[in-house]
Structure 1
Amino acid sequence: MTVIEGVHEDHGAAFREVGGRRVVDHYGKPERVHRAVRTVVGVIEMGYGVVTVTGEDRVDFVDDAVSNRVPTTDGEGVYALLLDPDGAVETDMYVYNAGERLLLFVPPNRADPLVEDWRGKTFVQDVEIRDATDEFAVFGVHGPQATEKIASVLNHAASPDGSLSFVRGTMVDAGVTVIRGDGLAGEEGFEVVCAADVAEEVFDTLENRGLNAAPFGYRTWEALTLEAGTPLFEPEIEGRIPNGVGLRNAVDFEKGCFVGQEVVARIENRGRPPERLVGLSCEALPAAGAAVLDGDAAVGEVTRAVESPTLGEPIALAAVDYDPPADLTVGVDGDAVAAERTALPFVDGSDDSARRPRYPDDAA
């Protein structure tokens, strides 16, 4: 469940599950809140699973397992992937070096399996791996005035500058860690991490103190990230080859070890993947899983679609054959409706998503 479920209930929240965890879907009128985030700033409780890795060999152990280089400096983070033996994504994660421990943010249903799997691989290394999800709350702060919002309530530290870097400070009397995000909503963003026992105080500060922030839920989060062209774990990333969803910055092939060399050619960023993730502007709203057609031939499927609150029209992400034509159709209620390939992002905001698909043949 969420860390502050009672607070969300007092705000009139409707709930649902994401990755097996109960999260806020919306507080009512999600389209209005969407516009507030796009124009000012909003706050959301994120439903991460949290894994801590401690011990003298913690950096080397995680670095050997994941696709990107783990930071060695306190205050830095990286987005990385855990791949299966065929090079497909088992989970994605953020890895933060917090001094004496690494802090990993993973999809909520991946924390327990990751801990169990890695505990079986420690051998003689000095590493302790633990599911610490219940000990933390994580709040996302997003919008063109997110930096001003954080500056108005963060004490004893300045807002972090670099993507996925973080600082420690306080909000009123509560200790917090503030991470600069990587633009997943297409807007400036931060994540505020605190102990679970001060989560209500921190959420109240983020919502009401300094520059007010509109609370929003996962319905708005998913619409914002779709407009930004950001692939999310369950609909777009899980089980796919990294370069098939354009995650060129998530894999460092110089480091080795994270996957057998026999599969490197399949996922190397310079290679041409069998599919790519594209944006579609549609005449009607398709469902996830709807067929994408070139004439009578199926060339892929919709991964996620929404009636864009910003654009006022249906938009979708789709996994398709690598080089389909610009004019396609999608299946909607048994009919084939027009869909046009559209450059990502659909909406330009105050930041560009670091996870927006990028391919070797993209124009510079």
Structure 2
Amino acid sequence: MTLVAGVHESHGATFADRGGVRVAAEYGRPDRAARAVRNVVGVIEMGYGVVTVTGDDRVEFVDNAVSNRVPHEDGAGCYALLCDPQGRIETDLYIYNAGERLLLFTPPERAAPVADDWSEKTFIQDVEISVATSEFGVFGVHGAKATEKIASVLNGASTPEAHLQFVRGTMGDDGVTVIRGDGLAGEEGYEVICTADRAESVFDTLINNGLNAAPFGYRTWDALTLEAGTPLYHTELEGQIPNVLGLRNALDFEKGCYVGQEVVSRVENRGQPSRRLVGLRSESLPEAGATVRAAGESIGEVTRAAESPMLEEPIALALVAFDAPTDDLAIEVSKASDDASDSRTQSGDDGEIHDATRESLPFVDGSDRSARLPDYGED
């Protein structure tokens, strides 16, 4: 649940549920907020679940469970996956080595299941696992001038340079940890972590002190990450095999086995995946699950779509057959959601068929490149 609801409301925010957590959805003009991020900088309160892992065996324990190698050095992080025995993604997570403990950021509804499951598997290892979501405030700072913004308010440390590295410092009287993000919005980005009781003060500093920043909500976040070609947990990742998404930044195939690693490795080594994640432009805004067609034949479905604030037209991510044709593409938009008329629109049995074109990802180039941009190992 948001820690600064009153401040969001003072800026005109409306709220929505995301993974069982109340978050700021928008501030009245989400497209304007998106352009503010692309041109300057914006701030969003992130709705993460947080898990802490302590004990002498903490790094070894987590490293054996996840898809990427957990860093041993304080101040470093990684992006990783938890996969089921069939190699499908159960959750994604960021793991940070904070000295005497590991901090794990998960989708909000996944923190408790991960902590409960791991607590039953510690055996004789010196590991203690706790859900700590309510103990921390986390704010994302994204934009073409995000580095300038952080530098203008961070004291006692320089901004971290490498993705997923972090430093400790202060903002005013508040102690904070600042993580260099991995470009999910396609712009320079940082996450600022503070204790829950200092969240309101830190949010105010990020909005009003130093270089001013625009507050933005999850509706804008979804549009920005879509423009950047970033697959997200709730729309693209959950239940998929990583190589279908080209999600190489979350995998270290040289490390020891974890649950699902054998399946993921076998699928990876077998060659190309059965499907791939692609970008589409459409004449009309489709819904998630809308059928993608090539020459009239179904080749896949839309995972997420939005009106692009920067391109000012509908864009979408879709999972389609890996070798599907790239010409004569169309998206079947349900009649209930279709309020556009066009001479090139055809009637289908279940909805309206609208022309679409495949586009290279990202849709929009910004000051950084998303680390999750699909990579299928092609030249």
TM-score using structure 1 length? 0.98
CA distance in 2, matches of 1:326, 1:83: 31
1:69-218 correspondence to structure 2 within 5 Å = 69-218=69-218
Alignment check: 8 A CA contact 1:248 1:269 kept: no
1:283 deviation in Å?
1.2
Cross-structure match for 1:36? 36
CA 1:261–1:50 in structure 2 vs 1: closer, same or farther (change >3 Å)?
closer
Alignment check: 8 A CA contact 1:67 1:258 kept: yes
Cross-structure match for 2:53? 53
Q: Match for 1:104: what amino acid?
A: L
Alignment check: 8 A CA contact 1:41 1:213 kept: yes
1:336 deviation in Å?
1.1
1:260 deviation in Å?
5.1
CA distance in 1, matches of 2:196, 2:271: 44
Cross-structure match for 2:347? none
Alignment check: 8 A CA contact 2:87 2:261 kept: no
CA 1:204–1:260 in structure 2 vs 1: closer, same or farther (change >3 Å)?
closer
Cross-structure match for 2:65? 65
CA 1:269–1:80 in structure 2 vs 1: closer, same or farther (change >3 Å)?
farther
Alignment check: 8 A CA contact 2:330 2:354 kept: yes
Q: Which runs of 5+ in 2 are unaligned?
A: 336-350
CA 1:91–1:294 in structure 2 vs 1: closer, same or farther (change >3 Å)?
same
CA distance in 1, matches of 2:168, 2:55: 22
Cross-structure match for 2:374? 357
1:268 deviation in Å?
2.3
1:113 deviation in Å?
0.3
Over the aligned positions, Cα root-mean-square deviation in angstroms equals 1.1
Alignment check: 8 A CA contact 1:87 1:266 kept: no
CA 1:21–1:255 in structure 2 vs 1: closer, same or farther (change >3 Å)?
same
Alignment check: 8 A CA contact 2:84 2:260 kept: no
1:326 deviation in Å?
1.5
Q: Which runs of 5+ in 1 are unaligned?
A: none
Tell me the secondary structure at the aligned position of residue 64 of structure 2.
helix
Alignment check: 8 A CA contact 2:178 2:191 kept: yes
CA distance in 1, matches of 2:58, 2:267: 26
CA 1:282–1:60 in structure 2 vs 1: closer, same or farther (change >3 Å)?
same
Tell me the secondary structure at the aligned position of residue 193 of structure 2.
strand
Tell me the secondary structure at the aligned position of residue 248 of structure 2.
coil
1:157 deviation in Å?
0.3
Alignment check: 8 A CA contact 2:176 2:194 kept: yes
Partner deviation per Cα, 1:79-123 (whole Å, 9 max, x = no partner): 000000000000000000000000000000000100110001000
Tell me the secondary structure at the aligned position of residue 279 of structure 1.
strand
1:52 deviation in Å?
0.2
Tell me the secondary structure at the aligned position of residue 225 of structure 1.
helix
1:271 deviation in Å?
2.8
Tell me the secondary structure at the aligned position of residue 65 of structure 1.
coil
Alignment check: 8 A CA contact 1:283 1:314 kept: yes
Residues 1:219 and 2:219 aligned together = yes
CA 1:14–1:143 in structure 2 vs 1: closer, same or farther (change >3 Å)?
same
1:323 deviation in Å?
1.7
Alignment check: 8 A CA contact 1:26 1:218 kept: yes
Alignment check: 8 A CA contact 2:83 2:260 kept: no
Partner deviation per Cα, 1:139-158 (whole Å, 9 max, x = no partner): 00000100000000000000
CA 1:245–1:85 in structure 2 vs 1: closer, same or farther (change >3 Å)?
same
1:341 aligned to 343, 349, 358, which one? 358
Tell me the secondary structure at the aligned position of residue 268 of structure 1.
helix
Alignment check: 8 A CA contact 2:253 2:265 kept: no
Alignment check: 8 A CA contact 1:68 1:78 kept: yes
Tell me the secondary structure at the aligned position of residue 249 of structure 2.
coil
Partner deviation per Cα, 1:152-211 (whole Å, 9 max, x = no partner): 000000000110000000000000000000000000000000000000000000000000
1:246 deviation in Å?
0.8
Tell me the secondary structure at the aligned position of residue 249 of structure 1.
helix
Partner deviation per Cα, 1:219-269 (whole Å, 9 max, x = no partner): 000000000000000100000000101101211111122135651444426
CA distance in 1, matches of 2:277, 2:179: 28
Q: Match for 1:159: what amino acid?
A: T
Q: Match for 1:352: what amino acid?
A: R
Q: Match for 1:307: what amino acid?
A: E
CA distance in 2, matches of 1:143, 1:326: 33
TM-score using structure 2 length? 0.94
Moved over 3 A (4+): 264-267
CA distance in 2, matches of 1:130, 1:259: 21
CA distance in 1, matches of 2:102, 2:263: 28
Alignment check: 8 A CA contact 1:59 1:102 kept: yes
Alignment check: 8 A CA contact 1:265 1:271 kept: no
Cross-structure match for 1:18? 18
1:311 deviation in Å?
0.3
CA 1:264–1:226 in structure 2 vs 1: closer, same or farther (change >3 Å)?
closer
Partner deviation per Cα, 1:273-329 (whole Å, 9 max, x = no partner): 111100001111111110011223211100000110100111000011112111311
